[in-house]
Amino acid sequence: MPGTGNFAIYPSLEGKIVIVTGGASGIGEAIVEAFVRQHAQVVFLDIQDSAAEQLIHRLTSDGSPAPIYHHCDLSDIAALQQTVAGILAKFPDVAVLVNNAGNDARHTIAEVTSASWDRSISVNLKHQFFMSQAVIPAMEKAGRGSIINMGSISWVIPSKGVPVYATAKAAITGMTRALAHEVGVHNIRVNCVMPGAILTERQKQLWFTKEYKAEILAGQALKRMIMPGEVASLVLFLAADDSSAITNQSYIIDGGWV
């Protein structure tokens, strides 16, 4: 089945330091696994301690290099900066940052408050900028790097029931382009990945009703569900030297929905 963990091998990623946010479950879990299979040194941030421990156990049970987990609430920028400073003290040569963490909780226009707006923007957008800001100096010193921001097709379709989330994800596309031009002179690449409806456990448990699945498949050119590992495969390519001339771009992976 597509996207189940049979990843292409990119020699340029072996031994590279990779930071992944929201790496304990869903698409982030697949991304962590994908880089571990490249024999990269993966450091991932999340708040799901149990899920993180289970992931580490699963990945190391076959002798793969152990990823390192840091509990970090990314909406707390001071904690984020402190955590990244600690990571860079141990691994100053960070080569890849994957800004994956997010939360697509459903909400109506009427129920959005100033506080809930700030929470959604913080969880889905703000930390991506500050994670990038925190690692860019190390990448500048190394003279290379790849930052991959996780966007969404939610603002392109457009989606209903996620107006603030869609706003944040649209902003990520603009932020990606702005950062790419700021840091390109240092050979740092910045790209965006825009997934469609990806069949993660969270999506299955919370949103994937029979009716919603029918809507997805009706809209997609490919009449099957897209798996987390397929998103991870795209992230690997954008992190590897094989994409060394690619920056400032946003890549849709949605089975042809858009």
Neighbouring C-alpha atoms within 13 Å toward the C-beta of 200: 22
Cα angle value 198/200/205 (rounded, 5°)? 120
* Whole-number Å distance between alpha carbons of 236 and 253: 14
**Strand pairing partners for 169?**
none
Query: Which amino acid, one-letter code, is at 67?
Result: P
Task: Give how far Cα 225 sits from Cα of 72, 228, 257, Å.
Answer: 31, 10, 11
Catalytic residues: 165
- The strand pair at 17-21 and 41-46 is best described as parallel
**Strand pairing partners for 194?**
252
